[in-house]
Amino acid sequence: MRQPEKRSYPIPHGTPYYDLPLNMAIGTTLGSILLHFLSFCSPYWLESYPETRSTFLRVGLWSVCFDRFIHPKDNFGIEWTGCYWIFDWNLWNRGIWEWIDPPWFIAVQVLCGLAFISHCVSLVCILFHFLLVGNRHAESSICLGTQAIAALFLLVGLIVFGVKVDDRDWMPRPDHNHLSWSFAFAVLSCFISAISCVFLYFVSNSDEQVERRQYAAVTGHGSQAYAYGQAPSRPPTMSAAGSVYAAGTSRQQQQQPYTMSLHSGFTQQQPYRGY
C-alpha cells in the first residue's frame, strides 16, 4: 500500500508553537526598550560612594550633579552645587563643558542615541505586527534588524564608557566612584535586545513561510518563484473582446486563450479556434 506523501506546512498564526516565539519576541523587545529608556534618561551611570563625601555626586548621559565642586582650572573659584544639563550655557561659558563632555563621552552619547532611535523603530514595528497592521514579514524583519543594530551600538558604547570611566583626567578621584544602576540597565537592555533577536528570527521565518504559502495559493506558483522573484511562466498576455491571448508569439504557437468571466471573476480555459 502506497504511503501518503508527507508535507510540511508553515505553522499558522494562533497556534501555541507560533505564539511562543512571538510572545517572547514582544516581551523581550518591550523589556529592552523600557530598560534603555530608563538608562537613557537617568543620571546614574557613574556615582560616587556616599562615605567619601566627594564633591562629585553622579553623572548620566545628559546631566551631572555636584556638591560644592570647584573645577581646578576655574580661575574664579566658582562652586557648583546641584544637577546641571551637560549642555548648560553656564558650564560652556566657564570652560567646564569640555572637561565634562570629552570626545569619547560624546561618542557614547551618539551611540546610545542611535540605539535609542533603533529601539523606537522596533517598538513601532512590533506594535504594528501585534495589531495585524501592514505586512507581518516586513515588520518582523525590520524589528529584527533594528534590535540587532540597537544591541550593537549599545555594546560598543558600554565598552567605551567602561574603559574610559577610570580616566583621571575626567571625574576627580575615580577610585571613589563606581558604575551605578543606569549603566546596569543599559547592560541589561543590550543583553535582552540580543535575546529578542533570536525570537524575532523565528517569527520572521514563520511569517516568510506563511507569506510564501499565501503567494503559492493565490498565483499557483511554488515557493521557488516567490523566493527568486520569478514572474509567471506564461508570456505576456493581450486581451481582446473578453479573451486573453499570449503576446509575442505567432497564432500557430499561441497557447489556449483564457476568458475572464465578468460575473464569477474566475478564468475559464477555452480551446483556440483560430481566425
Once rounded to an integer, what is the mean pLDDT over residues 106-132?
91
Top pLDDT among 113 and 139 is at: 113
Whether 41 and 132 share a structural domain: yes
Number of domains into which the chain is organized: 2
Whether 20 and 127 share a structural domain: yes
Closest residue by Cα to residue 175 from 52, 36, 20: 52
> What's at 115, amino acid-wise?
A
Top pLDDT among 236 and 224 is at: 224
Orientation of helix 181-219 relative to helix 136-164, angle to 10°: 160
Once rounded to an integer, what is the mean pLDDT over residues 110-120?
95
DSSP 8-state assignment for residue 52: G
Indicate whether this model's pTM tops 0.75: no
On whether residue 79 sits in a domain, the answer given is: yes
Backbone angles phi, psi at 77, to 5 degrees: 65, 40
DSSP 8-state assignment for residue 77: -
Whether 275 and 146 share a structural domain: no
Domain housing 27:
16-217
Taking only the tens place, the pLDDT of each residue in 259-275 is 443 333 444 444 444 44
Give the confidence band of 90 by pLDDT, cuts at 50, 70, 90.
confident
Whether 199 and 251 share a structural domain: no
> What's at 20, amino acid-wise?
L
